[in-house]
Amino acid sequence: MEKGILEYMVLGEGKTPLVLEVGIGGSFYNWWPFVQELRKDFTIVMYHRAGYGKSKVSSNQRDIKNIAEELDSLLIHLAIKEKFVLVGHSFGGLCVQQYAKMFPEKLKAVVLIDSTSFQFKRLYDLDLPVMYSYISLEKMIESNLQSSLKTREELELDFQDTLQGAQQILPEEQFDRFVDFITSPDLFKTIAEEFQNWDKDSEIIKAAGEFPEIPLVVIARDEKVSALPFIEFGIPEEEAYLHEKIWRELQIELSQMNSQGKLVLAHDSDHEIHKDRPEVIVECLQKYK
């Protein structure tokens, strides 16, 4: 599972490699139930970015260009020579967009699952005072930096509910590793650094040129469903629905990055489509196996 700098897991017996880039703060353990559905059709490569899990903390800045180069080094190490399907969720989707621009000749297809847009600043330019009093970029950076100062025992208490949910779906060995993952102060320091580079990331990806002409699928969440948790948290309805309207517009724009792009709506799903509507993703992937 672990060689060199980055921690990884390879499973499955399909001819076509499928490489997964998880969202910010995410782990490949969160995808464990989902990938079981793909084991017969793909050889699946899951990994943890530098600073996540057992992957060593890197001295390189946590921007999407360095992340793409580090992923490519891992795939070279794994001797993956066939064209592969690259899947990215949330911030992982932004990393995937950058990888596709840097190494298009290596890709069979790109699948973006409710991906962060390189135009994400449009969200933060919206007049959403209540929402951003809780989840502004600055707040998320500050929150993760505070978590990075805690002990493993304190983090285990903070994430008690997350761990209880994980225990229900993970084999014992994987669960023990997930406990190590979620209670690492280095993880939260790395998450904060990834957030801190978002403005830079936007400029990097725009400077990298046009998205290549390769098969592209963009899977977007259900905007009505995803507005509900915000509203239940106390965010005014007009703010929640405006945020989700613009998020959907950004997903549409991602699907128009090249002439092969296709938008797929995951009805009845929030951001974690691999948990809410896994069959939508599986169906999209079948044509590339």
The tens place of each residue's pLDDT in the chain, 289 residues long, gives: 344 589 999 999 999 999 999 999 999 999 999 999 999 999 999 999 999 999 999 999 999 999 999 999 999 999 999 999 999 999 999 999 999 999 999 999 999 999 999 999 999 999 999 999 999 999 999 999 999 999 999 999 999 999 999 999 999 999 999 999 999 999 999 999 999 999 999 999 999 999 999 999 999 999 999 999 999 999 999 999 999 999 999 999 999 999 999 999 999 999 999 999 999 999 999 999 9
Spell out the SS3 assignment of the chain: CECCCCEEEEEECCCEEEEEECCCCCCHHHHHHHHHHHCCCEEEEEECCCCCCCCCCCCCCCCHHHHHHHHHHHHHHCCCCCCEEEEEECHHHHHHHHHHHHCHHHEEEEEEECCCCCCCHHHHCCCCHHHHHHHCHHHHHHHHHHHCCCCHHHHHHHCHHHHHHHHHHCCHHHHHHHHHHHCCHHHHHHHHHHHHCHHHHHHHHHHCCCCCCCCEEEEECCHHHHHHHHHHHCCCHHHHHHHHHHHHHHHHHHHCCCCCEEEEECCCCCCCHHHHCHHHHHHHHHCCC
Instruction: Tell me how far apart the alpha carbons of residues 51 and 6 are, in angstroms, rounded to a whole number.
Output: 9
pLDDT, one tens digit per residue, over 69-91 is 999 999 999 999 999 999 999 99
> Which pLDDT belongs to residue 4?
54
Q: Which pairing describes strands 107-113 and 84-89: parallel, antiparallel, or unpaired?
A: parallel
- Domain positions in the chain: 8-126+200-286
Q: What is the pLDDT, as a whole number, of residue 1?
A: 39
In angstroms, the CA 34 to CA 36 distance is 5
Q: What is the pLDDT of residue 101?
A: 98
Domain formed by 8-126+200-286, architecture? 3-Layer(aba) Sandwich (3.40)
